[in-house]
Structures are given as C-alpha cells and as structure tokens.
Amino acid sequence: MKALTWHGKRDVRVDTVPDPVLKDPDDVIVKVTSSGICGSDLHLYEVLGPFLSEGDILGHEPMGIVEEVGAAVTEVRAGDRVVIPFNVSCGVCHNCSQGLHSQCDTSRVREQGMGGALFGYTRLYGQVPGGQAEYLRVPFGNKLPIKVPEGPPDDRFVYLSDVLPTAWQAVEYAVVPPGGTVAVLGLGPIGDMACRIALHRGAERVFGVDLVPERLARARRRGVEVFDLAADHDVADTIRGLTDGRGPDAVIDAVGMEAHGAPVGKLAQQIAGLLPDTVAEKLMRKAGVDRLSALYTAIDLVRRGGTVSLSGVYGGMADPLPLLTMFDKQLQLRMGQANVHRWVGDILPLLGDDDPLGTEDFATHRVPLAEAPQAYERFQKKQDGTVKVLLRP
C-alpha cells in the first residue's frame, strides 16, 4: 500500500509499504477514505525527529470503511463506515472507564513513561503506524472504532478523530461560565474549532488571536472578535480593556511548543535539531525546549481566578513556568491529550444536516495522498491559506 512516511526534518514521503494484517483477534483493518493533517503533525515534521525512526507512518485523524475483522470482533463488520480516534484506547480499563482514554492502562507506553499509545506519533506514544495511508490496522475493534452513518460526506465526521474532541475538551476544561468570555490563542484547526464550540455552548464573547490574515478572517466570519498579533503587540492589554480591565474568564492556548515570538525556545529547538538523535532526545527529555510565549500570554491575560486550558502540544520536560504569578492570580490550569470517546456522545448530535459547527466547509484543502509532502510544506509555512488539509488515499 501507499503511506506517508517520515525520513527526517521536513522530509516526509509517500512510500510503498507492506499492507497491515490482523495480529490479534480483536483487530480491524480499515480502508482509509479520508485522513487529516493535524497541527501536531507539524511538530513531527519540524521538532520531534529524535523520537521518530525513518519509515514511520504518520497520521492520526483517519476514517474509512472496515475491510476485515478479527475472529473476536462483534461490534463492527466489513463494510461499516468508521472514524478512528487518535487515542489507542481499550475502552474497558480503569482509566478508560473514568473517561481518561488518553491514559489507557492497556496501551500505556510504560517503557517511555508516557500515557496511552497514539496512532502515528513517535515512539514516545508507542510508534503505532498511522492513518495517512491507504489501510490501517486498528486494535480494540469492539471498542475503538466510532460507527457513523452512510450518506453525508467524510468531512462531516472525520474530525471526530481529533479536531472536534480536542477542541471540545479545550472548551470543557476552560470552564467558561454562562455568558462568560474566553480568549483563544492560535486559530489553526483546533483554535478555530474551539472558538466555534465556545460560541455554540453559550460564551458571550470569544476573542481569537493569531497573526495569519486568512485565519483571522475565517474566525471573524464565525462571529469571533479577532486580534492580529502582528499589528497589536500588546494583545493582552487590548483584550483586558474589553473586559472591564479584568481579562477573560478563560484562555485556551491552542498554539503549543512552536509559538511565535519565543527566541530562546526557538534557539533550543534549533540546537536540538543539529544534535545526533540520541543526544537530542536526552536534551528534550531534560531541558526546556518549548517556545512558551503563548502560554505566558495566556497566564498574563486571563482574569484573576480564571482558567487556562492547554490544548497545544508541549514537548519540553523542564520548561520554566511563572509559578508566583500563577499562584498569586489563583489560576486553574487544565491540560492533556483529548479523551476522544469521552466526548463523542456530546458531539455526534451536532453532526446532523444543520451542521452548526461548520464541519463540511472546515477543510481548506483536499488533496490526494500522493500530494501529502507538498501539503505538509504549505501547512508548515502557512501558505495558500492552508488551515486544514484532508488527504484522500
């Protein structure tokens, strides 16, 4: 089959690789019909190379048609249309039963000291082959696949794999009070969708911050009050002025480790990129290598007693935090990989024909799998209005 594989920093290729096969009785083989490129895929493309091996298959936002099922699979059958969550979660362990599917005890990558495995996302998370491919082996076939109805286009459902539950959890963790205010830093796919969800769930005002004109315009069309970081260098003060000097009730950091305007973190990432992988891996495990300007802005901007919700991915193990400020402001801080199955019941009713979250026109680009390397480059460089890419194997 054809699959997108990692070969080095900013070097991804469509290769011919062996077809996946059933290994366990509850495995499922899915023929992929759509697969998204996620903002966190760019961390693999740019920063997290020390935790990848040449030939790793990328991608964690797939959906498709069940092709084959193992002997123990009873909940899906060949021909079913399914979305595959990016969490590799068993659905029955203690943590899964508590709604913490990203911390699945069964798939947890203990040798790396990490949580549950993820599709297509480094050996830190199990080095599980990903879904930017023609076929995908899916474990836990009775619990993991999400069955969706025939008829509507893939675009209506594919974001159940990651974008929708990640943005939903970001808003849930933000604890925006009824009629309250929330600022979203970063208007990539997760930030954009978090704005839509916050408005849908009753936030009175949603402030969106970015520096890419197309992203700002896109969010503005959905009723978000947008702020251009390139034009307003004190966005926190500007937004405080719109909230009686207090700041918003919550701030969602949807940027993560590659925030703009963080020269020290950028230098650390560049240094790590020049080192041999074994040395760089140790540096990233022990040092602060994230660009933290978005997080620092969130902590500065949020009102006293407010909540900061992190959905952007961070990778450093010793990043400095302004704990005095956080303690003095009495902030709540919530974060973590999204627990996809925890939120499916809340989100599925919103994917009907009225499509209140605008899923069907959410993608800016739809390209064949063969063009994935060029799509990664455009997405990383923020060219051609690229916000969300769907690959069609």
Together in a domain, 150 and 288: no
- Residue 350 sits in the same domain as residue 315: no
Helix axes 213-221, 189-200, angle to 10 degrees: 20
Domain's final residue, options 291, 320, 335: 335
pLDDT tens readout for residues 301-344: 999 999 999 997 776 666 788 999 999 999 999 999 999 999 99
- DSSP string over 146-208: EE--SSS-GGGTGGGGTHHHHHHHHHHHHTPPTT-EEEEE--SHHHHHHHHHHHHTT-SEEEE
The 3-class SS string of 61-113 reads: CEEEEEEEECCCCCCCCCCCEEECCCECCCCCCHHHHCCCHHHCCCCCCHHHC
- Specify whether 112 is located in the same domain as 182: no
Say if residue 366 is in the same domain as residue 381. Answer: yes
Among 335, 357, 375, residue at a domain's last position: 335
pLDDT at 273: 45
Is there a contact between 76 and 28 (Cβ–Cβ < 8 Å)?
yes
CA distance 190 to 170: 9
Looking at residue 118, what DSSP letter applies? B
pLDDT, tens digit, 9 for 90 and up, residues 282-303: 545 444 445 688 899 999 999 9
Distance, CA of 245 to CA of 263 (rounded, Å)? 29
Question: What's the burial of 202, exposed, middle or buried (CB within 10 Å: 0-12/13-18/19+)?
Answer: exposed
> Which CATH number belongs to the domain containing residue 60 in this structure?
3.90.180.10
Residues 318 and 348 in one domain: no
Confidence (pLDDT) at 316: 66
Q: Domain check: are 359 and 315 in the same one?
A: no
Same domain, 96 and 139: yes
Instruction: Please tell me whether residues 236 and 254 are part of one structural domain.
Output: yes
Task: Count how many Cα atoms sit within 13 Å of the Cα of residue 25 in the half-sphere of its side chain.
Answer: 3
What are the phi and psi torsion angles at 30 (to 5°)?
-115, 130
Three-state DSSP state, 241:
helix
Q: Are residues 152 and 206 in the same domain?
A: no
Residue 8 CA: distances (Å) to CA of 63, 64, 266, 308:
26, 28, 18, 34
> In the prediction, which pLDDT does 314 show?
76
Domain C-terminal end among 299, 316, 335: 335
CATH number at residue 284: 3.40.50.720
For residue 264, the model assigns a pLDDT of 38
Q: Are 293 and 299 in contact (CB under 8 A)?
A: no
Answer yes or no: do 114 and 219 share one domain: no
Instruction: State the total domains in the chain.
Output: 2
Interatomic CA distance for residues 297 and 240, integer angstroms: 12
Domain that holds residue 279: 164-335
Residue pLDDT tens, the chain, 393 long = 999 999 999 999 999 999 999 999 999 999 999 999 998 899 899 878 888 999 999 999 999 999 999 999 999 999 999 999 999 999 999 999 999 999 999 999 999 999 999 999 989 999 999 999 999 999 999 999 999 999 999 999 999 999 999 999 999 999 999 999 999 999 999 999 999 999 999 999 999 999 999 999 999 999 999 999 999 888 999 999 999 999 999 999 999 765 443 443 343 444 344 444 454 455 454 444 456 888 999 999 999 999 999 997 776 666 788 999 999 999 999 999 999 999 999 999 999 999 999 999 999 999 999 999 999 999 999 899 999 999 999
Amino acid 260: pLDDT: 42
**Measuring CA to CA, how many Å separate 259 from each of 53, 254, 295?**
25, 10, 9
| Distance in angstroms (rounded) separating the CA atoms of residues 101 and 245 | 39
| CA dihedral of 193, 199, 200, 202, whole degrees rounded to 10 | 150
The reply to whether 220 and 287 lie within a common domain is yes
- 92 and 215 in a single domain? The answer is no
